[in-house]
Amino acid sequence: MSGAGAGSGRPTDVSVSILAAEAGDEAGGEELAERVLALVRAARARIWILAYTLSDRDLLALLEERADEDGLDLRVLVDAEQHDKALKRSGGEPWGETLRALEADGRLVPVAVAGPEGDGRLHTKLIVLDDRVVIAGSKNWSDLDASTKWNDLAVLDGPRGGVVETCRDAFTRIASEAAGEKVDLGKPLRDAEPLAPLEEANGGEPGRALIRFADPRAGSGAEMRRALIDRLRGAKTRILGAVNILNDPEISLILAAQAKRKRVEVALTLDRVQFENLERRRDAEAKRLLDTLGALRRSGHLRISKKGDPQLHHKLVVIDDAVVTGSANWTKAAFGKNRELTLTLLPPKRSKEEPAFVTRYVERARAIWERSE
């Protein structure tokens, strides 16, 4: 792995479980959160969290409950600006006091992100449990996300090697930057036991995973963006996606070019509020982008979520048999200013059938497409 490393170079064999809030079902978001909480509750030795925002009452109550356990390595890194907003919004409520207590104890560290292109965000959404289970996707740990947003998370079990090492490297780098000195996160755990909730659910399905982190100081967001563009450009059968924000001109042009190829199915849904924000811009770049997206929409390859639906907060796309999800919107800020994460999920080597986890992402993208306009 390079010092600026955006991610491990080769996919890691993993067991994949997919968690997604059901389209149109507000209870789906609450179920999504509860399943993750069960995993956090089951962790024995290590709970590491990278979060854009942390104001979920249930997660904070669980972290408070577990904070004083002997031998538990609990660390939370959260975007500094969003942390300040959460504290102000909390007033004197107990969850705000939990945030303050975790910060005072050094278990929670606010992180400011800056790079050559200006201030950015710690926009990553990641949980690592016992150096064995990795949870990543689009969900923020906010008091607003459960019932107002459509999100997805992937749970990767047993990812020894590439995925966990990449997460550990990113966590170490961010913690060290926040502290202004090298932070020692202790030795990697070896041969951690499976977490009970995954065992009880018969685990996930065999697959492969590749994780990438964008670091604006290292310029690795450009590498992340290039990996996505290469996959989009090389698509042979399908590009099915649901993305919160798209304002990258090159990506929009690639989608338009692929849509003209009869053998590539292109179906992308964008969030209505974010699309309307783009329409309000008056600069030349926005006009060109809207021209391209408008042509995609008229030709039946782009839809916008309906007014009144939950916010489309996914950043997911199925390209042939690969799934790309994570925290990164398809924007200049995501790839140039922010700390972000993308997770690429692939079938096992020599697999002849589409894995169920790929099918679930396909069904997710199609369900949102069918109810959009």
Per-residue model confidence (pLDDT) at position 28? 56
pLDDT by residue (tens digit) across 211-268? Answer: 999 999 999 999 999 999 999 999 999 999 999 999 999 999 999 999 998 899 999 9
pLDDT by residue (tens digit) across 295-336? Answer: 999 999 999 999 988 899 999 999 999 999 999 999 999 999
Query: Environment class of residue 286 by beta-carbon count within 10 Å: exposed (0-12), middle (13-18) or buried (19+)?
Result: middle
Per-residue model confidence (pLDDT) at position 4? 41
Length, in residues, of the chain: 373
Q: 326 in helix, strand or coil?
A: strand
- How many structural domains is the chain composed of? 1
Per-residue model confidence (pLDDT) at position 21? 59
**Interval 60-78 mean pLDDT:** 96
Q: Cα dihedral angle (274, 278, 281, 282), rounded to 10 degrees? A: -170
Per-residue model confidence (pLDDT) at position 116? 86
Q: Which residues contact 149 (CB under 8 A, 6 or more apart)?
A: 21, 29, 139, 140, 310, 311, 312, 313
Q: Is residue 366 one of the residues assigned to a domain? A: yes
**What residue numbers bound the domain in which 16 lies?**
12-370
> Measuring CA to CA, how many Å separate 128 from each of 144, 159, 338?
23, 11, 20
pLDDT of 22 strictly over 70: no
Task: Using a pLDDT cut of 90, give the percent of the chain over it.
Answer: 76
The CATH number assigned to the domain holding 128 equals 3.30.870.10
**Interval 54-71 mean pLDDT:** 95
Residue-averaged pLDDT of the chain:
91
CA angle centred on 315, ends 291 and 330, rounded to 5°: 45
Q: Is residue 7 one of the residues assigned to a domain? A: no
Q: In the chain, where does DSSP find H-type helix?
A: 26-42, 57-66, 80-90, 94-104, 145-148, 162-179, 196-200, 220-233, 249-259, 272-280, 284-298, 332-336, 356-370
pLDDT of 39 strictly over 90: yes
pLDDT by residue (tens digit) across 333-351? Answer: 999 999 999 999 999 998 8
pLDDT by residue (tens digit) across 226-241? Answer: 999 999 999 999 999 9
pLDDT of 194 strictly over 90: no
DSSP 192: P
Q: Half-sphere exposure of residue 33, counting CA atoms within 13 Å on the CB side?
A: 23
Is residue 3 very low, low, confident or very high in pLDDT (cuts 50, 70, 90)? very low
CA distance linking residue 26 with residue 145, whole number of Å: 10
> SS3 string of 227-239?
HHHHHHHCCCCEE
Q: Is residue 280 one of the residues assigned to a domain? A: yes
Q: Is residue 6 one of the residues assigned to a domain? A: no
pLDDT by residue (tens digit) across 355-365? Answer: 999 999 999 99
Is residue 1 very low, low, confident or very high in pLDDT (cuts 50, 70, 90)? very low
CA distance linking residue 248 with residue 103, whole number of Å: 36
Per-residue model confidence (pLDDT) at position 360? 92
Q: Are strands 340-346 and 322-326 parallel, antiparallel or unpaired?
A: antiparallel
pLDDT by residue (tens digit) across 121-168? Answer: 999 999 999 999 999 999 999 876 556 788 999 999 986 668 999 999
Q: Specify whether the CB–CB gap between 154 and 136 falls below 8 A.
A: yes
CA distance linking residue 354 with residue 74, whole number of Å: 37
> SS3 string of 243-287?
ECCECCHHHHHHHHHHHCCCCCEEEEEECHHHHHHHHHCCCHHHH
Q: Is residue 4 one of the residues assigned to a domain? A: no
Q: Amino acid identity, residue 36?
A: V
Q: Specify whether the CB–CB gap between 99 and 90 falls below 8 A.
A: yes
Q: Is residue 304 one of the residues assigned to a domain? A: yes
Q: Which of 66, 123, 57, 49 is nearest to 90 (CA)?
A: 57
